[in-house]
Amino acid sequence: MGEVIFESISNKFDNIYSIYITIFVVLSGIFILIHDARRLEIRKDHKGYKIAKIIGYVYIIGGASLYVVTLII
């Protein structure tokens, strides 16, 4: 019973999280790092700059990692 539920959830997640979603998430992270973080650094908003960098890296690493996980599962 548990395996059937896991397979059902896994199949639905595979259908939703495709390579296109991965590309979109990774490109969003790169945009945050290049555009937003740089703009916040110019404005001397150090707290916002650090948060933007963290969010950008999380998007890049998280998006790629989720895609790899969907390939493994």
Domain around 61: 2-72
pTM of this structure: 0.76
Of all residues in the chain, what percent carry a pLDDT higher than 70? Answer: 82
Give the tens place of pLDDT for each residue, 32-42.
Answer: 999 998 999 99
Closest CA to 52 of 31, 35, 25, 32: 32
| pLDDT value for 16 | 72
Q: Which residues of the chain have pLDDT under 70?
A: 1-3, 5-6, 9-10, 12-15
Give how many domains the chain has, as a whole number. 1
Q: Please report the DSSP string for 25-65 in residue order.
A: HHHHHHHIIIIIHHHHHHTT-HHHHHHHHHHHHHHHHHHHH
Report the amino acid identity of residue 12: K
Buried b (16+ CB within 10 A) or exposed e, 23-49: eebbeebeebbeebbeebeeeeeeeeb
